[in-house]
Structure 1
Amino acid sequence: MGVDATRPAPSPADRTSAAFLIDEALGFLFPAALRAAAAAGVADHLADGARTPAELAAATGTDGPSLHRVLRLLATRGVFSQEAGGRFGLTPAGDALRSDAPASARAAILMITDRTFWLPAGEMHRCLTDGTSAFEDVFGRPFFEHFARDAATAAVFHDGMAAMSDAENQPIAAAGDFPEKGTVVDVGGGHGGFLAEVLRHRPGLHGVLYDAPHVLAGHRLARDEALTDRWSVAEGDFFTEVPPGDVHLLKRILHDWRDDQCVTLLRNCRRALAPGGRILVVDAVVPEDSDPHQAKALDLLMMASLVGRERTEADFRALFGAAGLRLARIVPTPTVLDIVEAVPQEATD
């Protein structure tokens, strides 16, 4: 193909822009490499010090030269350190890649980079033309329906969500304004990690973990003897009804769903609230600026694989208003998530 004589010669700024954008386009290879390292369990074999790719390959059952190339790229992002003698070590930033780390991110990484998110992200252009998720085009059915039919994929998702939450549950529970007594219902609470932290912070509270039966089968509440007799589980569909309580928690739930579905869910919570009760939505509040924020990336994951989105403060106000609620306040936490508090519209401060 010949040179287009009508196109002006590129300036240094043009070349800089092209090089920048090409580097950005190659960026998808970093999470691909991170997934490969997580799947192989490389970090588990570096807890006691740096090792060569050959040693790591023997320990993980992988190909040494290929593993070296993965580690070399991840070392440029500070996940691993590249040391003398061709050895690679685990950095403080990469320590959570270990499966036994106190706040292990390994399961979360395997979830975020799973094909259920990865493949629709590659088809994101469909979202721009169709105005909806690419997931159903790729997998033949909606996101949660696919998980209900595929136990192995569902386990990756629920284990990953639990791991993603483990590092944030304690600081969010500490930041929340929970009553000293009463019943708190964790709606769509998964394995119960967040509810357990809330109950630890408020010994006078009783907790109800509410979710689908196949999710509740993996809950963790029974593991903590300090919570004995302070919790119960309830099975159901939160689009139909939710158990009664003084506080309803919705952590990383609303961002999964369309506005009309969220309104249905919020109305169900409102009907089930005790007098003076509150709904605490724990989600990221997207800032209205161009600064980096994890919610802006997560929003595209929602767009590609689910039908929901991350929301701004104005979005939450509108959503609550349509459900007969009002936004009482937004409580920041030390994590990327905020606590967005809603009360019935007739309630007074």
Structure 2
Amino acid sequence: MSAAPAPESASRNSHLSASPLHDLMYGHIHASALRAVVVHRIPDLLADGPLTAEELAARADLQAGPVHRVLRLLAVRGLFRQHTDATFTLTAGGEALRENVPGSQRDAVLLFTDEMFRRSAAQLPDTLRTGTPGFDAAYGQPLFAYLSSAPEDSRLFDTAMSSLTSGVNEKIADSYPFPEAGTVVDVAGGRGGLLREVLTRNPGLEGLLFDRPETVTDHLLASDGLHGRWRVQGGDIFTAVPGGGDLYLLKNILHDFPDEDCLRILTAVRTAMAPGTRLLVIDALLPDDGAPHPAIALDIVMLMTLKGRERTAAEFEDLLGRAGFRLTRLVPTPALTSILEAEAV
């Protein structure tokens, strides 16, 4: 007797059990498709309503067949919607792929799908064996040394960091009770997005943005209402940090570095601070029980590109204590990051 045929539904959906594995296997394909539509500004072309692949191709000087196939893939991922009349529209999630809209992640997509990260990821098998970041192996030098001599890539890195944190900065600024007066020093503060939000919400504060000279020249502090309340200074966070501040910020910096370099940074900050002055370390916190958390994936980005890593609250407390700080409290935020408040002792 021959075996009974499998039910049609089981046959049709037999691929579903393997889909988590396939998602991992095809991850680079999804990332490449995402980069392609962003490079050609297809999300911006869809801003005013539905278009077919043919219409999109005509407006962007592309080929309709490949456009349709790539959008179909990304529709499965929830960034676009494919309709029965052969048109495509943006979903709410896809809106973040547009340029110059609130919360735009376009620059972040361009950075994390850039050759710098693709080549770094390709080196992961060797990183597991040697411990050397994939970026160092691929480019022959550390990431930040490379960026200092590659102005276009450096500009992309800075704008991507700004886009990644555009909505995060507001959440951080709203989550901590900043003082009514004094000077806030944002150490390695990039283009000053967080400092701008802090000063905007606290009109009695003044601010100092401190970062690489080539970064602070492209700052974001020239906003209405902030006139005369800020200044910028270029320098090296490993050498010396400006003194005289009443509150110091270190946002998404320590995770870039191994412990020994974190201690050099924290020591430079502590040297600039009077006893009792507060430091806010703003970083993602790894769960100490292995629970799922976005910081776990971010930790692999660190492994690929830098010698840094994400840390637990206990690991941060140990670093702070070794550099002359006392952890006073943890302040959660609605963002990926938490705020570790420490006092100079």
Does the pair score TM above 0.5?
yes
Which residue of the partner structure matches residue 138 of structure 1?
138
| Structure 1 residues 273-316: Cα deviation after superposition (integer angstroms, max 9, x where no partner) | 23421111111001123433221111101111111111111210
Matched, 1:240 2:250: no
Which residue of the partner structure matches residue 325 of structure 1?
325
1:53-202 alignment runs, 5 A limit = 53-202=53-202
Verify the 8 A CA contact 2:123 2:137 in the aligned structure 1. Answer: no
Gaps of 5+ in 1: 1-14
Amino acid at match of 1:141: Q
Runs of 4+ in 1 over 4 A off after TM superposition: 15-20
Which residue of the partner structure matches residue 8 of structure 1?
none
**227-236 vs 320-329, greater mean Cα deviation:** 320-329
Verify the 8 A CA contact 1:190 1:215 in the aligned structure 2. Answer: yes
Shift of 1:194: 0.7
Which residue of the partner structure matches residue 226 of structure 2?
227
Which residue of the partner structure matches residue 25 of structure 1?
25
Verify the 8 A CA contact 2:246 2:278 in the aligned structure 1. Answer: yes
Shift of 1:28: 2.5
SS of 1:274's equivalent in the other structure is coil
Closer, same or farther: CA 211–23 of 1 in aligned 2, 3 Å: closer
Which residue of the partner structure matches residue 6 of structure 2?
none
Q: Distance in 2 between matches of 1:220 and 1:150?
A: 22
SS of 1:239's equivalent in the other structure is coil
**205-214 vs 107-116, greater mean Cα deviation:** 107-116
SS of 1:85's equivalent in the other structure is coil
Matched, 1:303 2:291: no
Amino acid at match of 1:24: L
| Structure 1 residues 177-228: Cα deviation after superposition (integer angstroms, max 9, x where no partner) | 2111111111111111110000011111110000111111211112x12100
Shift of 1:132: 2.5
Shift of 1:85: 1.6
SS of 2:238's equivalent in the other structure is coil
Verify the 8 A CA contact 1:134 1:305 in the aligned structure 2. Answer: yes
Shift of 1:63: 2.0
Gaps of 5+ in 2: 1-14
SS of 2:108's equivalent in the other structure is helix
SS of 2:281's equivalent in the other structure is strand
SS of 1:34's equivalent in the other structure is helix
Amino acid at match of 1:91: T
Amino acid at match of 2:337: L
SS of 1:338's equivalent in the other structure is strand
SS of 1:191's equivalent in the other structure is coil
Which residue of the partner structure matches residue 279 of structure 2?
279
Measured on the aligned residues, the alpha-carbon RMSD in Å equals 1.6
Amino acid at match of 2:229: R
Closer, same or farther: CA 16–106 of 1 in aligned 2, 3 Å: closer
Over the matched positions of the two proteins, sequence identity in percent amounts to 45
Which residue of the partner structure matches residue 205 of structure 2?
205
Closer, same or farther: CA 270–158 of 1 in aligned 2, 3 Å: same
Verify the 8 A CA contact 2:330 2:338 in the aligned structure 1. Answer: yes
| Structure 1 residues 27-80: Cα deviation after superposition (integer angstroms, max 9, x where no partner) | 222222111111111110111111011111122222221111111111011100
Amino acid at match of 2:93: A
Amino acid at match of 2:230: W
Verify the 8 A CA contact 1:246 1:276 in the aligned structure 2. Answer: no
Shift of 1:235: 1.1
Q: Distance in 2 between matches of 1:50 and 1:16?
A: 30
Normalised by the length of structure 1, the TM-score is: 0.91
Verify the 8 A CA contact 2:275 2:343 in the aligned structure 1. Answer: no
Shift of 1:16: 8.5
Q: Distance in 2 between matches of 1:338 and 1:188?
A: 18
Shift of 1:100: 2.4
Matched, 1:268 2:268: yes
Q: Distance in 2 between matches of 1:319 and 1:118?
A: 32
